[in-house]
Structure 1
């Protein structure tokens, strides 16, 4: 009963509306601009560039700038790699099935490599969830926009988020001392932990991607990268019980979020209204992500799905179905990866 109660416990706030507002503005301004100029084909590049603002949420300004600069640079590299592989893959003669497996392999590599980079830089949020999502979603866009325009959109959005992250410095009451951040030094144990964590992300994302692709080919499901994203969610946590709880919260929050998404689709909002919903969901997700993961997922689900709909024409019904199926597959794999070491030790003992 205690474990169930903890799943619905709301942690105390820590001025969460400040980073939530920064993140909402950081995604709203680029997307509404693209809507007004009729270039929603670039929406995904703006959306993932805006992930820069998620990092360094409660850090002093000099540390936040370093964190966001590194996080933004890494995301730029991930997005560039994704759009390049989507452009060159057709020349390799791969059909849809072959490209799906290539995407799983490449995304698995991104999961492990970015997790290690994030750990070495001690960025928060930890892990490579956003990089898995960004890489696979961009690489899955069937008709890629011009490369220069796509990357310019990403760079401008990243710069905007950096400026928003520093915006509070105009108010003396919110200004923190500016000094050169101390270099990050790691102990041998920390470096070992970073590589072990990267291995965990590699295994969880890879297994989820393979399983989701096999199931998808046989039963007609798509978006296997959602399973890869869900699989790494349980890897973040200070205990096995906390990690398992995150996996369950991911599924429960997704189910509720899909009900919310169905209501939004029923209203059939105009593109500008969908952009507003994205900004509101981004605000809600950042308000609760550190306090109550289940509630945060209620906002994350429509946020991710609307972003997908803006990027490409997809049957909304199939989108809702794929989301829950892939989330269950991924979360189950992630929980299995978390509990496997403990079970193995017990069996050997």
Structure 2
């Protein structure tokens, strides 16, 4: 009952509307610009470039700029690798199945490497969820736009989000000292934890991607990277209880978010209206992502799928089906990865206790 109550409880607010508004503007302006230019084929590059704005949300301006600059450069590197991977798959003339299987190890490597980098830099949000999503989604696009156009949009969006990040300095009441963050000194335990976390992301993403691709071929569904994204969600947290709760919240929130998405699709919105809905979803996601993860998924799910529909139009019913199946597979794998060390420690402790009991000398009773 305690875990159930925690799952639906909501934490106190801490001026969450400030970072939420920055993130919403960082998404809305670049996407609206692309709508006006008639280049929605580049929308996905702007969407992932805008992830720069989610870092350093509560930090002073100087620290926030440094964190967002690092985050932006890392995301640009991931976007570039994704476009190159898509072109490599096209050059090899792989079919859909071959591309899906190639995507799994490539995305797995991105998951582990970016997790290690984010942990090394002590950035929040932790983990490589956004980088997994960005790499796999872009690499899955069959018809890639010119490379220079894609990267130009991503770079300009990143620069715009950096400007938005310290724009409040023009207000004296909101201005904070421009102080560079101190160099991070990591203890041996922190370095070991970073490597272990990266290993966890490798295992969870790789296993989820493999299972989702295999099951998708048998049952006829796609978007295997959604399972990889869902698999790493439970890996973020300080306790096993918290991590399992996040995995369950991901499933429940996705189901409810799909209901909202179905209503949005029925409205048959114009492109500029769709972009406005995406900005509102981004605002809602940032408002609740720290306070109530399940509630945040009501906004995250429509946001992710609408961005997919903008670039690669697909029947909404198929996207809804794929999203829930892939999320269940991924979240189940993530929870299993979280529980595996606990189960292993329990087995070792019982085995050790049993060996010690057997080896304990038997006392001969005195007559």
TM-score bracket, normalised by the shorter chain, equals over 0.9
| Maintained 8 Å contact 2:104/2:206 | yes
Aligned residue number for residue 22 of structure 1: 22
Matches within 5 A, 1:301-312: 301-312=301-312
Aligned residue number for residue 358 of structure 2: none
The alpha-carbon deviation at position 194 of structure 1 amounts to 0.4
Q: What secondary structure does 1:176 align onto? A: coil
Q: What secondary structure does 2:173 align onto? A: helix
Aligned residue number for residue 135 of structure 1: 135
Aligned residue number for residue 263 of structure 1: 263
| Maintained 8 Å contact 2:240/2:338 | yes
The alpha-carbon deviation at position 94 of structure 1 amounts to 2.2
Q: What secondary structure does 2:204 align onto? A: helix
Larger Rg: 2
The alpha-carbon deviation at position 180 of structure 1 amounts to 2.5
Whole-angstrom CA distance in 1 between matches of 2:84 and 2:184: 32
| Maintained 8 Å contact 2:66/2:180 | no
Whole-angstrom CA distance in 1 between matches of 2:275 and 2:339: 39
Aligned residue number for residue 290 of structure 1: 290
Q: What secondary structure does 1:310 align onto? A: helix
Are residue 163 (structure 1) and residue 166 (structure 2) matched?
Answer: no
Aligned residue number for residue 35 of structure 1: 35
> TM (normalized to structure 2)?
0.94
The alpha-carbon deviation at position 93 of structure 1 amounts to 3.4
Whole-angstrom CA distance in 1 between matches of 2:20 and 2:90: 40
Are residue 85 (structure 1) and residue 80 (structure 2) matched?
Answer: no
**What whole-Å deviation, never above 9, does each CA across 1:238-260 have from its counterpart, x for those lacking one?**
10000000000000000000000
Q: Which runs of 5+ in 2 are unaligned?
A: 350-367
Matches within 5 A, 1:218-233: 218-233=218-233
Matches within 5 A, 1:82-231: 82-231=82-231
**What whole-Å deviation, never above 9, does each CA across 1:305-327 have from its counterpart, x for those lacking one?**
00000011111110000000000
Are residue 4 (structure 1) and residue 4 (structure 2) matched?
Answer: yes
Q: What secondary structure does 2:166 align onto? A: helix
Whole-angstrom CA distance in 2 between matches of 1:239 and 1:183: 28
Whole-angstrom CA distance in 2 between matches of 1:267 and 1:94: 37
**What whole-Å deviation, never above 9, does each CA across 1:250-293 have from its counterpart, x for those lacking one?**
00000000000000011111111110000000000000000000
The alpha-carbon deviation at position 185 of structure 1 amounts to 1.2
Alignment coverage as a number of residue pairs? 349
Whole-angstrom CA distance in 2 between matches of 1:213 and 1:225: 9
Whole-angstrom CA distance in 1 between matches of 2:66 and 2:210: 36
Whole-angstrom CA distance in 1 between matches of 2:240 and 2:179: 38
**What whole-Å deviation, never above 9, does each CA across 1:127-146 have from its counterpart, x for those lacking one?**
00000000000001111011
Q: Which runs of 5+ in 1 are unaligned?
A: none
Whole-angstrom CA distance in 2 between matches of 1:315 and 1:72: 32
**What whole-Å deviation, never above 9, does each CA across 1:147-173 have from its counterpart, x for those lacking one?**
111000000000000000001111111
Whole-angstrom CA distance in 2 between matches of 1:342 and 1:108: 23
The alpha-carbon deviation at position 77 of structure 1 amounts to 0.1
Aligned residue number for residue 329 of structure 1: 329
Whole-angstrom CA distance in 1 between matches of 2:53 and 2:180: 20
| Maintained 8 Å contact 2:230/2:334 | yes
**What whole-Å deviation, never above 9, does each CA across 1:60-104 have from its counterpart, x for those lacking one?**
111101100000000000000000110122222322211111101
Aligned residue number for residue 347 of structure 1: 347
Whole-angstrom CA distance in 2 between matches of 1:311 and 1:146: 14
Whole-angstrom CA distance in 1 between matches of 2:90 and 2:17: 44
